[in-house]
Structure 1
Amino acid sequence: MENASAGMAEKPESMLEIRVELTDVEPKIWRQLEVHSSLTLDVVHRVLQTAFGWEDMHLHRFVAVDPFAPLGPVDGDIPETLQWLPRQDCAEPGDRPEEVLALAQLLALGGGGACYEYDFGDSWLHRLELVTQRPATDGTPPARVLDGARRGPLEDSGGFAGYEELLEALADPAHPDHAEHTEWVAEITGTDEPFDPAFLDIQAVNHALAAQVHTCN
């Protein structure tokens, strides 16, 4: 799992505590992660997918700055925002392969922060913020969830606005879309159990991450 970039290979391994929060979402959906600094962004992508319960059904990208913040001109030109994508998806001049950049390097470019966008249609933007850094010790998992709040939104739920409407319909049996949305959620989740947006099983997530580490090694 630790496909470190060449630039990080000679540096001592460290553990990064990262807060990852979905932007523009209320109540907050977030994870506190501890990850090896040398994990490349393709691996971090898989960690984030597992941590938030995504199913890797859509495109994604990493950027060192908010991709939707307005950029001021530099020498009369608007600078191009670099973005890191899977190698096969790189097509524009500002595209870089995510497989060659370590998480620590991306955070350094962003002054301790970065962004991860998943599903360019629903546009789930995750803000990554470095909290602390410490030396790695033997036996420390390459990635684990320390804390968090609420389950990740369902795939293809229409971004925050669509997800909010979905939750409102599920919570109100008298809502005209209650039956339809309940059936859709059961199909997506594979269970008829009531959907609880506040549910988060950190132990199960870490078990899944440990299995992922085993697969990647």
Structure 2
Amino acid sequence: MLLVDSHPEIWRQLEVRGSTSLGQVHGVLQVAFGWEDAHLHRFSDSDPFAPLRPIDGEIPETLQWLPKQWCEEPGDRAEEDCSLDQLLARGSGMAFYEYDFGDSWLHRIELISRRPATKTAPRARLLGGARRGPLEDSGGMPGFEEILDSLADPAHPEHIEHSAWVAERIGTNEPFNPGFLDVEAINRQLLWSCKDDLARGSKPDYS
């Protein structure tokens, strides 16, 4: 999974059960990128920002998958009723996930391979990746890159302001390292996320 327009690239390689609902996939992606689930999100089977081309003289219907309570438009589908496998099948192995419609963090999901699941394997596991996810409310990729530039340059006119903002965001005055990715910590969080689902009565599908 790649965060679109990130340079250097911010990506995650995840092992996720195909039967996992998109609502649960949303939770996995929030953990994997360090998001706080503070904004709206959606899934789509094609790039939501690509220009639509007419088919037989008609613009095809654009579908998106959202939490059931947000579905209002004809093209809206409930994410709780669709699995990751079903979404990827519609997009021939590719799909998109957008988080925060203001900052518009667009992620491209690509199927790399399949293998049989075992009953003891976790519902989701991070295998690898690069760089930490951008901070919430940092203004999309252009805003986040501007923040990183100011942090790296003590003479930057916004260095002090951005340094204080980042420290408040991450809860520490330690230097912010955008290249750091703690795979083990993320996998621990993913295990706890699964336990939370069980506590709420939502059992992972191990079929």
TM-score by structure 2 length?
0.94
Q: Deviations over 1:151-182 (max 9, x none)?
A: 00000000000000000000000100000000
How much is the aligned-residue C-alpha RMSD, in angstroms?
Answer: 0.7
Q: Which residue type is aligned with residue 25 of structure 2?
A: V
Alignment coverage as a number of residue pairs? 198
Q: Deviations over 1:104-124 (max 9, x none)?
A: 000000000000000001110
1:181 and 2:162 are equivalent in the alignment: yes
User: Whole-Å Cα distance in 2 between the matches of residues 182 and 46 of structure 1?
Assistant: 29
Q: 1:27 aligns to what SS in structure 2?
A: coil
Partner in structure 2 of residue 28 of structure 1: 9
Identical aligned pairs, as a percentage? 64
1:144 Cα offset (Å): 0.6
Partner in structure 2 of residue 146 of structure 1: 127
Q: 2:113 aligns to what SS in structure 1?
A: strand
**Which of 66, 70, 93 matches 2:74?**
93
User: Whole-Å Cα distance in 2 between the matches of residues 134 and 175 of structure 1?
Assistant: 50
Partner in structure 1 of residue 45 of structure 2: 64
Q: 1:152 aligns to what SS in structure 2?
A: coil
1:130 and 2:116 are equivalent in the alignment: no
Q: 2:125 aligns to what SS in structure 1?
A: strand
Q: 1:58 aligns to what SS in structure 2?
A: coil
Partner in structure 2 of residue 16 of structure 1: none
Q: Which has the higher strand share?
A: 1
User: Whole-Å Cα distance in 2 between the matches of residues 203 and 67 of structure 1?
Assistant: 32
**Which of 86, 91, 96 matches 1:110?**
91
List structure 1 segments (4+ residues) > 3 angstroms apart after TM superposition: none
Q: Which runs of 5+ in 1 are unaligned?
A: 1-19
User: Whole-Å Cα distance in 1 between the matches of residues 105 and 168 of structure 2?
Assistant: 22
User: Whole-Å Cα distance in 2 between the matches of residues 74 and 51 of structure 1?
Assistant: 37
Q: 2:188 aligns to what SS in structure 1?
A: helix
Q: Which residue type is aligned with residue 41 of structure 1?
A: L
Deviates more, 1:198-207 or 1:66-75: 66-75
Q: 1:132 aligns to what SS in structure 2?
A: coil
Q: 1:134 aligns to what SS in structure 2?
A: coil
User: Whole-Å Cα distance in 2 between the matches of residues 214 and 142 of structure 1?
Assistant: 10
1:211 and 2:196 are equivalent in the alignment: no
User: Whole-Å Cα distance in 1 between the matches of residues 185 and 25 of structure 2?
Assistant: 18
User: Whole-Å Cα distance in 1 between the matches of residues 119 and 162 of structure 2?
Assistant: 47
TM-score by structure 1 length?
0.90
User: Whole-Å Cα distance in 2 between the matches of residues 103 and 34 of structure 1?
Assistant: 12
Taking the TM superposition and a 5 Å limit, the aligned residue runs for 1:39-58 are 39-58=20-39
Q: Which runs of 5+ in 2 are unaligned?
A: 199-207
1:78 Cα offset (Å): 1.4
